[in-house]
Structure 1
Amino acid sequence: MRKRNSKDLLTRATGRFYTHEFIGRRLADVVVRTAQLEGRRSVSVIDPFCGDGRLIGWFLEAVSKRDGARPRMWSVELWDCDAAALDTARKRVLETAAQLGVEVEVETVLGDTFAHAPSRFGEFVVCLTNPPWELLKPDRRELDQLDEDVAREYVAQLRQQSSRLVEYYPLSAPRRRYAGWGMNLARAGTEVALRLTANDGVCGVVSPASLLADQMSESLRRWVFEEYVVHDIAYYVAEAKLFDEVDQPSVTLVVSPGVTSHSPTMLVVHDRALRGKEVRFSEQEWHSLRSDGYVFPLQFGPELLGLRSKWDNLPSFADLEGESQDDLWAGRELDETGHRRFLGDKGDYLFVKGRMVSRFRMCEAPSQYVNRDGPRIPSSADHYRLAWRDISRPNQRRRIQAAIVPPGMVTGNSLHVAYFRDDDLERLKALLAVMNSFVFEAQVRMRLATAHVSLGVVRKARVPPLNDRGLTAELAQLVARCEKGDEEALTTVEVRVAQLYGLSHEDFALLLSAFEKVEEEEKRALLTSPAWRCPSVGSQQLAR
C-alpha cells in the first residue's frame, strides 16, 4: 500500500484543465470590451482559480490594446489551492505588467476558494476564471492503493467538502446525488465567480459545455440568464482538442449582474479549426430556449430551433409513463459493474449488453446467462421492451440505437429500456418507429452535451399520439420490415413519422441538413420517397 497525504489527494480531486490560449485570449478580449472601466482610477480584478495566471496575463494584454482612458492601477487577486501554481501565477502577472508598463498590485491567497469566497462576494469589478472541472467524489483506483486510515481520512474530507459546497452554493447542487456524491466543481466554481463580481462589474468564465445543456445545471442556468445580462456565449467542439489529455467540448460566458437577459443572446460556435460561426436567435427561438430551461443546442441543430413549434404541443415521452395498465414504464435493469462474476453458461435469463443493440434489431445474439445465484432479475425482463444504448458518441452518424428485446433476456445498464404495462407489442413497435426516426433523434441531440443518451433527455422529447389502432398497425408493420433490413421500409417509416409530427417536405429537408454524417444519397432517397404522396393513416387521423 502507498502512503499518501490525504490533503494532496484532496487537491487532486479538485483539479483543473488549464485554459487554451485561443479560448483565453478571446474571453479576455470580450471581458475588456464589456467592462465599464472609464473614470476609474483603480480596478479590482480576481481569478479565484488562477492556476498559472495565464488568464489575468492575457487580460492585461487585452487592456493594453484598448483605446481610450484606462485605469492607472490594477489591484489583482490570485487564489488557488496549489502553492507552486500560485507562485508561478504571481510571477507571470508581474512580468506581464512590467512588459506592458501597467501598474499592478498582486495579492495571492493559498487555500480553498470555495470556503474563502463567501466573505468576498460582490467585491470585484472584473472576475476572470476557469474553475476546476471535476465531480467531487473519491476515486476508487486511488482508494485501493491507500492505507486504510489515509483512505478513510480522504473520504471524510471529501464528504465534508461536498456538504460545505451544497450549503454555500445551493444553485450548483445536483438535484440527485448518488451515494451522497455528485457536486460538480465547474458548476460551483461558476457560481463562485458570478457571486464575487460587483454589481457594476463583469465576469468571464470557462466551463464544460454541459453547463448550458445538462439537466443538473438547470437551476444555475436559470439564475444566470434571469439575474444577469449575458453578453457573450462561445462554444468550442471537442474535436478542437483544446485541453490536454481529454477531448472535451467547452463554453465561455461573459456576464454582468443586475438585469435579466430578456433579449436573445448570440452564440458563437467554433469548429475543430477554431473558425467561429455566429448563431442569432429570434425572439420566438429565445422564448423556446427559456421555456426549455435554457438548454442550448450546442452540439447539434441550432438552426432547427424554429421547428420546435411543430412538436412543442405534442405529449412528451415522459407523458407516456405512469401506473395505469396501458402506461409506459422506463428505466434500467442490471448494474453491469463486475458482470463477469455473475455471468455463465447456464441460467434463466440471457444477458444483453449495449453493443448488442442497433437500429431496429439486435446485431449480436447474447450467449451468456445471469447465474441463478446472481443479482435479482427485475420483473421488466418478463416483458417485450424497447431498449436503446446509453453510450453514443456525438460524432456518430445516428446516435439513437434502439430495438425490441424479448422476454427472457435482461439488459445491463449500458441500455435503457421501456415497455407498456399491458404488453401491447404493436404499440411498442410504433414507439420504436418514432424513437429511431430522424425527428425524434433531432430533438434528443439538441439537448445532449455528453456521450450519453440518458433517459432524462429522452423523456423530454415529444412523441405523436400512438392511440389510433390504424396508425400503430401501420407503423408496426413497417418496423417488422425494418427489422429484416428492408431499405424501402426504412425510408418509408422516416417519412411516415415526419408526417405524424406535422413536418412538411421543406421542414424535413431542413432537419436532414443538420445530420452532417448522413450521406447525401440517403437524404435524396428520403426526400424523393413516394411515401410523401401518400399520407399515412395516422396523419389523416390527426388532420381530422
Structure 2
Amino acid sequence: MIQHILDQATLTDIQTFNILHRHIPLDQPMARHRLTSSLTDRYLQLIETMAAESFGGDTAAARALADSALVSGLLIEAGVAGSDDHVDIPATYGRDISGIIRSMADPADDLDILLDSSWKRYRSVSSRDNGVVYTPAGVARFICRKTIGQWLLRQVNRQFGRSYVTQDEMIEACSPDEAWKAREILNRARILDSSCGTGVFLQAAAEEMTRLKATFDPDRHESDIGQIFQHTLENNISGTDIDENALKIARARLMLSLRKAGHLKGKGIRLQIEKRNALLPGPEPPRTEQYDIIVGNPPYMRIKSMYRGETDGLQRKKTLASEIMKSGLYRLQDGNLNLYKLFIERNLSLLKADGSMGLIIPSPFLNEASSAGLRRHIFDTCTVEEIVEIPEKVRAFGVVNQATAILVLHKGEPGTKFNLRLGASAESLEGGSISVDLKELKAITAGRMEVPLLTAPAIEWGMLKHLMNVPPFKGDSHFPEVGSICVGQLDETLDKEFLSETPTGDIFVKGIHLHEYSVDLSEAGSSPRWVDKKAFLEKRPSAARVIESARIIGRNTINKSCKRRLKFALLPPGYVCGNSIKQIVITDPQIRPLYLLGILNSSVLNWYFEVFCSQNNVRNYSIEAMPIPRAPGPAQEAVACVARSIMETEGETREYLDKKLMDALIYELYFMDTRMLSSAVLAAIDERSGPGAFMHEGIQRIVEMIEGREGFKIVRQATYRLK
C-alpha cells in the first residue's frame, strides 16, 4: 500500500507532509475487530483441528506450529523469506494457512491480531496477564508522527538558526541545502521501542522516517522508497522485548512492511531487534542517553499481579522486584511497582538530552498520588508538548477496557505550556486541544501537577482557576484544617473474627449501609450487621477516640462509572466502621457538620473530584485537596438547614432539595458574587418551618436562574451522568 501511494505521488505531493498518513487512515479498533473476527475464527478452528488430529489434543503444541507456519507463509508470499523461515507442515493444514493468508486485508496488522488471539486462547498466561495489549496501528502512527516530527523540528531550528513553528512550515520553507542536511539529521537518528512486542511502533516509526527522508530528498525516485525503508530499518530503528514469540512477529511485520515499501529482495536485512529486558542492566554497564527518540506502549501491570497461576509465580515476582530495586536505575517509584512506570523512568534515562519520547500509558498516571513524584520529575526536567486522553468508554484497544493517555515530550528544560486534548478516540486524535499553563496547573494542584480530565475545557479551566482562591480542606497559612481523615478501623479481612451474624448489641457500619445524607443503622441492615465492639477495642484501643466521636462518613471505594461518586452522611458516636468507610472528624470549631455535609454531597465537589480522580478509590489526599469555603455563619446556616431538611424528607421534595436547591446553593457559594439564594433560604427559615419553606416560588426562580449557567450544567452533568 505504501508503494501504491508513492507511485502516484510527486515530490510536491510528498512535501504536503501528510501524503502517507492521508492515505493510511487511523484504524477503527472495533471495526477492525469485526473485520478480522471471521479470520480469527477460522484460524482458531484450524488450531483445534490440528490439535485433535495430529497432537493428541495438545492445543499449545498445535498453536506453536500453526503460528510458525502462518509467519512463514506470509514471508514466502511476500517473497522475503530466508532459509530459516520455512516450516514443514502437512499439506492439508498448509492449504488452510494459505487460504487464511489470501483473505488478509493487511497482512502485517492481521498477523498481529491472529497471533494475539491464538496466544490468549492457548497459553496458560495470556499476553494481557503480563500487561500487554495490542496497540492499534493508527495510534502508533499518530504517536510516531508527533514524536519524530517534533524532534526533527527542534534539530532543524537549532542547527539552521531557524524558528519554524510547525512541521508543515519547516518542510515548505527548507532550501535544497537545508533539505539535504535535514535528511542527514534523520539518517543519524536512533529510535527505540524498549517494549516493542509485535513491532507496531517499530513499523510506524520506520514508515514515518521513510516519509520524512523522501520528503527531504528532491532527487529521489519512487523506486528508491524501498531502499530508504531498508536503510531506516537497519540504521535507525531498534527494539527490545522479553517475549521471543512477539519478537518473531515483529521481525515478520517489518519484513512485510519492507515488501510493501517496494523492496523486493528482503534477504540479508539486519534488523536491530533483540530479546532483552530493558528494565534491567545487562552484563555491560547500564546504558544511558543513547537514543534520540523513544516510542512505545509499555505493559500496564503491577509486579505483584504478574505470573498468576504459575507454580513459581510468587518467587518470580519477588526476584523481579528485588532485581529492579537493586539495579540502581530507579529512584522515582512510589507504591506498588508497575511496569509502565518503570518503563517511563527507564526510557527517560535512555533518552538523549533534547531527545523526544512518545508513549501511550494508563490515564490514572495523570493524577494519581502514587505517580506524583515521577509526574513532577517529568514536568521539572522535560518539556511536555502534548497529552491526549482517551477514555475507557471508546475502547481504543478493541475488546480490552483501558483508559489511556498519549504523552509526548522532549528531555531538557521544563516548558511553560502544553497542549491537552481530552475525550479523544482512536479514530480522532487530532485537534480540539487547549493550551495549559504550567504555572497555573502548579497553583491549582498545589504542586502535585495533576492533569485535570475536563469535558468542557474552555469553561472548566476558568472554574478551576477561580477555586484557587478557596482554601483546601487540609488548610493553608490562613486557615486550619477542617478535620482529620481516616479509614474505618476494622479491617473486614484481618478482623473478621469480631464480626457476627447474631446480635451483639453493637451495629457494624460498612460501605453498603451508606447513601448520600443517610446511613442504615437498623438491625435488619445488610450483613455483617453486628460487631463485638468490646473485644475489638481491647485489641485496638487506639480506635476508641474516633469511634466515640461524631463523624461524617463516606464510601471509601465507588466505581468511576457511578453517578454521584461522593456519598456522605452523619454518624453519631459509638459505631464501629469497616475499612470500606472513609471517616472525617471535624476539628475546626468554625465548621458546622451539616454545612460540610452539604458541600461534600454537592455536585460542585463531585465534579471537582471527578476532574482529578480517574480511580475507583476515594483517597485521603483527594479530600484534603478539596476546596472548602470558610463561609460566615449565616451562609453555613443556610446550607445546614437545607441539609437537615433533605435528611428529614422523602420523595419528590427530597429530590428537589438535594439535586436542585442544595446544588444551586453550593454553586452560588463557590462561583457567584451575590448571595441571593442563600439570603432567600435564610428568609424562608425565619418565616416558615419545615422543608416546605424552601419550595417558595421566589426560591425556585433563583434556582432556575442558577440552573441556566453553563458552569452549573457542567457540574451536574459530571455528577449525575447527564447527556
TM-score, shorter chain, exceeding 0.5? yes
- The alpha-carbon distance between structure 1 residues 336 and 139, as it changes in their structure 2 partners (threshold 3 A), is farther
Instruction: State the distance in 2 between where 1:164 and 1:13 align.
Output: 25
Instruction: State the distance in 1 between where 2:492 and 2:476 align.
Output: 27
Task: State the 1:506 CA deviation.
Answer: 9.0
Q: Which amino acid is the alignment partner of residue 161 of structure 1?
A: E
Task: State the 1:96 CA deviation.
Answer: 1.6
Identify the match of residue 153 of structure 1 among 315, 327, 348. 315
- 2:486 is the alignment partner of 1:331: yes
- 2:386 is the alignment partner of 1:224: no
What SS does structure 2 have at the residue aligned with 1:393?
A: coil
Paired position in structure 1 for 2:657: 489
State the Cα deviation string for residues 460-483 of structure 1 (Å, max 9, x = none).
1110115x4444433322211111
Instruction: State the distance in 1 between where 2:353 and 2:423 align.
Output: 30
Instruction: State the distance in 1 between where 2:580 and 2:307 align.
Output: 20
- 2:511 is the alignment partner of 1:354: yes
Identify the match of residue 305 of structure 1 among 440, 461, 479. 461
Residues 388, 416 of structure 1: 8 Å contact kept: yes
Please list, as runs of the form range in 1=range in 2, the aligned pairs for 1:333-482 lying within 5 A after superposition: 333=488, 334-337=490-493, 342-344=498-500, 345-362=502-519, 365=522, 366=525, 368-371=529-532, 373=535, 376=540, 378-379=543-544, 380-421=546-587, 427-465=592-630, 468-482=632-646
Instruction: State the distance in 2 between where 1:518 and 1:256 align.
Output: 36
- The alpha-carbon distance between structure 1 residues 316 and 207, as it changes in their structure 2 partners (threshold 3 A), is same
Identify the match of residue 215 of structure 1 among 358, 364, 369. 369
Residues 78, 90 of structure 1: 8 Å contact kept: no
Paired position in structure 1 for 2:51: none
Paired position in structure 2 for 1:124: 291
State the Cα deviation string for residues 28-59 of structure 1 (Å, max 9, x = none).
22223223263233432211111111111122
Q: Which amino acid is the alignment partner of residue 355 of structure 1?
A: I
Paired position in structure 2 for 1:533: none
What SS does structure 2 have at the residue aligned with 1:39?
A: helix
Residues 34, 202 of structure 1: 8 Å contact kept: yes
Q: Which range is displaced more, 117-126 or 40-49? A: 117-126
Task: State the 1:200 CA deviation.
Answer: 4.3
Task: State the 1:164 CA deviation.
Answer: 3.1
Task: State the 1:442 CA deviation.
Answer: 2.2
- The alpha-carbon distance between structure 1 residues 38 and 458, as it changes in their structure 2 partners (threshold 3 A), is farther
Identify the match of residue 266 of structure 1 among 415, 419, 423. 419
Instruction: State the distance in 2 between where 1:280 and 1:152 align.
Output: 45
Instruction: State the distance in 2 between where 1:84 and 1:357 align.
Output: 50
Instruction: State the distance in 2 between where 1:312 and 1:26 align.
Output: 35
Identify the match of residue 29 of structure 1 among 133, 141, 145. 145
Instruction: State the distance in 1 between where 2:240 and 2:482 align.
Output: 53
Which blocks of at least 5 consecutive residues in structure 1 are unaligned? 1-7, 524-544
Paired position in structure 2 for 1:530: none
- The alpha-carbon distance between structure 1 residues 398 and 290, as it changes in their structure 2 partners (threshold 3 A), is closer
What SS does structure 2 have at the residue aligned with 1:119?
A: coil
Paired position in structure 1 for 2:209: 63
Identify the match of residue 45 of structure 1 among 191, 213, 216. 191
Paired position in structure 2 for 1:319: 475
Q: Which range is displaced more, 435-444 or 273-282? A: 273-282
Instruction: State the distance in 2 between where 1:351 and 1:158 align.
Output: 41
* Count of residue correspondences: 496
What SS does structure 2 have at the residue aligned with 1:489?
A: helix
Residues 595, 643 of structure 2: 8 Å contact kept: yes
- The alpha-carbon distance between structure 1 residues 127 and 488, as it changes in their structure 2 partners (threshold 3 A), is closer
Residues 361, 406 of structure 2: 8 Å contact kept: yes
Paired position in structure 2 for 1:527: none
State the Cα deviation string for residues 130-156 of structure 1 (Å, max 9, x = none).
1121122256974xx74xxx4663353
Q: Which range is displaced more, 429-438 or 153-162? A: 153-162
Instruction: State the distance in 2 between where 1:140 and 1:413 align.
Output: 28
- The alpha-carbon distance between structure 1 residues 476 and 291, as it changes in their structure 2 partners (threshold 3 A), is closer
Instruction: State the distance in 1 between where 2:200 and 2:143 align.
Output: 12
Q: Which amino acid is the alignment partner of residue 572 of structure 2?
A: P
Instruction: State the distance in 2 between where 1:441 and 1:478 align.
Output: 18
- The alpha-carbon distance between structure 1 residues 341 and 116, as it changes in their structure 2 partners (threshold 3 A), is same
Instruction: State the distance in 1 between where 2:515 and 2:716 align.
Output: 18
The structure with the largest helix share of the pair is: 2
- The alpha-carbon distance between structure 1 residues 289 and 275, as it changes in their structure 2 partners (threshold 3 A), is farther
Instruction: State the distance in 2 between where 1:128 and 1:370 align.
Output: 54
- The alpha-carbon distance between structure 1 residues 408 and 289, as it changes in their structure 2 partners (threshold 3 A), is closer
- 2:260 is the alignment partner of 1:99: yes
Residues 60, 97 of structure 1: 8 Å contact kept: no
TM-score for both structures, normalised by structure 1: 0.80
Instruction: State the distance in 1 between where 2:276 and 2:127 align.
Output: 10
Q: Which amino acid is the alignment partner of residue 100 of structure 1?
A: A
- 2:318 is the alignment partner of 1:164: no
Root mean square deviation of aligned Cα: 3.5
Q: Which amino acid is the alignment partner of residue 135 of structure 2?
A: T
Instruction: State the distance in 2 between where 1:514 and 1:471 align.
Output: 21
Paired position in structure 2 for 1:528: none
Which blocks of at least 5 consecutive residues in structure 2 are unaligned? 1-123, 153-181, 218-227, 674-705
Residues 11, 82 of structure 1: 8 Å contact kept: no
Identify the match of residue 498 of structure 1 among 667, 678, 698. 667
Instruction: State the distance in 2 between where 1:58 and 1:155 align.
Output: 33
- 2:710 is the alignment partner of 1:509: yes
Residues 64, 100 of structure 1: 8 Å contact kept: no
- The alpha-carbon distance between structure 1 residues 387 and 161, as it changes in their structure 2 partners (threshold 3 A), is farther
Instruction: State the distance in 1 between where 2:126 and 2:392 align.
Output: 27
Instruction: State the distance in 2 between where 1:241 and 1:371 align.
Output: 47
- The alpha-carbon distance between structure 1 residues 197 and 495, as it changes in their structure 2 partners (threshold 3 A), is same
Please list, as runs of the form range in 1=range in 2, the aligned pairs for 1:530-541 lying within 5 A after superposition: none
Identify the match of residue 274 of structure 2 among 109, 115, 121. 109
Instruction: State the distance in 2 between where 1:156 and 1:13 align.
Output: 17
Instruction: State the distance in 1 between where 2:547 and 2:379 align.
Output: 43
What SS does structure 1 have at the residue aligned with 2:215?
A: coil
Task: State the 1:515 CA deviation.
Answer: 3.9
Instruction: State the distance in 1 between where 2:146 and 2:493 align.
Output: 46
State the Cα deviation string for residues 290-320 of structure 1 (Å, max 9, x = none).
7543211126553412122332132211229
Q: Which amino acid is the alignment partner of residue 619 of structure 2?
A: S
Residues 564, 720 of structure 2: 8 Å contact kept: no
State the Cα deviation string for residues 192-222 of structure 1 (Å, max 9, x = none).
2222222343211111002211122222222
Instruction: State the distance in 1 between where 2:308 and 2:411 align.
Output: 42
Task: State the 1:384 CA deviation.
Answer: 2.1
Paired position in structure 1 for 2:26: none
Q: Which amino acid is the alignment partner of residue 362 of structure 1?
A: V
Percent identity between the two aligned chains: 20
Instruction: State the distance in 1 between where 2:354 and 2:442 align.
Output: 27
